[in-house]
Amino acid sequence: MSPANAPSASTSTDTPALPLAGLRVVEFTHMVMGPTCGLVLGDLGAEVIKVEPIEGDRTRFLLGAGAGFFPMFNRNKKSIAIDLAQPEGAALARQLAGTADVVAENFKPGTMAKYGLDYASLSATNPRLIYVTHKGFLPGPYEHRTALDEVVQMMGGLAYMTGRPGDPLRAGTSVNDIMGGMFGAIGVLAALIQRGITGKGQEVQSALFENNVFLVGQHMLQYAMTGQPAAPMPARISPWGIYDVFTVKDGGQIFLSAVSDAQWVTFCDALGFADLRDDPRYASNNLRVQQRPALLPLLRERLAARPAAELAALFERVGLPYAPIRKPEELLDDEHLLATGGLADMTLPDGPRAGQTAKATLLPFTLGGQRLGVHRDPPRLGDATSALLTELGMGPAEQERLRQARVVA
């Protein structure tokens, strides 16, 4: 393994090393899926070296919904810019990959082999190498297809389940890209454990389509269990009597639920609905499910004059599940996230706000009671090129020659 990342200035000498400190990851990734894998490994303490084209990963420059891709998925990484299309660049990338414990990639099939950067080529000289590849499809009839998150959501049943009947709708975030990268990281962690036992590395594969199928597996098994196809979520038969979004006073919206018989009694008592609590038609959850077509309109009518904030305070007080309807930008000021360290400051590397500070969401778990933070800002393009070339034995003159030839940047 390579030397561990240097700790951040705020790291105490008493702070335990991160779990993957000393592990070197070289990633040839772009967009979201592959970078997510590197993000997870980097947050866990690995030294992650991102190999970019000399013009930079194109997600650095995306607009609109893609503007947050690069800073979100590339913190805790170093950057080296190499032109793989030049034979000297490909050779340099192979040399760098030879220093790695883990190589990660998410390019179309055949791309890495063209540069001698595929698993077969690299593992021939480094049998301990763990190589994680992120694809649209695992090997099979579909593997030649170009996949996107939206493509697999459509063909994998998720868009059907999310939208209204006849109106398939992709989920509002890159669920398969992100989870596909997470499953790639899980595979790497398993392979690291096995390497510790056998001394040998292996190839790990993660794919968008198979990830999506895993997500809808509960609906597939619903059909297997009941013989009834799962309906899209907006038209589903809910398993819970009260489990819905209510539009209330001044157009406010709030999600309210009562998923057990005890919660139903609390719900009715808190809202002053004794008549509903004592009505035998609503005596059990399954009865309330059967009565939803009549019960929900009645509740909507009764709740329409009450402000969402009042209902939230009431449900908070009696311990019932509820949720305000929030926008992503509102979470930047969420009191729970701020109080629990769920957001961390980092410096933006590109775009109109380059050099300014923004809050980043952290991995959603703790180790030893601590959240894993940002110990390295998202990298500027080629911020580690010189240091890595020096490590590979190249002096200043050779480095300048490579820059002049546009092999590196």
Return the closest-CA partner of residue 41 out of 300, 353, 372, 385: 372
Is pLDDT of 15 > 70? Answer: no
**Model confidence pLDDT, tens digit, residues 248-293:** 999 999 999 999 999 999 999 999 999 999 999 999 999 999 999 9
**Model pTM?**
0.92
The Cα 198–Cα 22 span in angstroms is 19
Q: Assign 237 a pLDDT band (cuts: 50, 70, 90).
A: confident
Is pLDDT of 2 > 60? Answer: no
* Mean pLDDT of the region 201-224: 97
HEC readout, the chain: CCCCCCCCCCCCCCCCCCCCCCCEEEEECCCCHHHHHHHHHHHCCCEEEEEECCCCCHHHHCCHHHCCHHHHHCCCCEEEEECCCCHHHHHHHHHHHCCCCEEEECCCCCHHHHCCCCHHHHHHHCCCCEEEEEECCCCCCCCCCCCCHHHHHHHCCHHHHHCECCECCCCCCCHHHHHHHHHHHHHHHHHHHHHHHHCCCCEEEEEHHHHHHHHCHHHHHHHHHHCCCCCCHHHCCCCCCEEEEEECHHHCEEEEEECCHHHHHHHHHHHCCHHHHCCHHHCCHHHHHHCHHHHHHHHHHHHCCCCHHHHHHHHHHHCCCEEECCCHHHHHHCHHHHHHCCEEEEECCCCCCCCCEEEEECCCCEECCEECCCCCCCCCCCCCHHHHHHHCCCCHHHHHHHHHCCCEC
Answer left, alpha or beta for residue 118, where phi above 0 means left and psi between -120 and 50 means alpha. Answer: beta
Roughly what angle, to the nearest 10 degrees, separates helices 261-271 and 308-318?
130
pLDDT at 236: 84
**Model confidence pLDDT, tens digit, residues 339-358:** 999 999 999 999 999 999 99
pLDDT at 365: 96
Roughly what angle, to the nearest 10 degrees, separates helices 175-198 and 208-215?
100
* Mean pLDDT of the region 382-391: 98
Superfamily of segment(s) 238-328: formyl-coa transferase, domain 3 (3.30.1540.10)
Active site residues: 177
What CATH code would you report for 24-215+341-404?
A: 3.40.50.10540
Hey, where are the domains in the chain?
Answer: 24-215+341-404, 238-328
* Mean pLDDT of the region 56-71: 95
Burial of 165 (0-12, 13-18, 19+ CB in 10 A): exposed
pLDDT at 4: 34
Return the closest-CA partner of residue 247 out of 207, 191, 306: 306
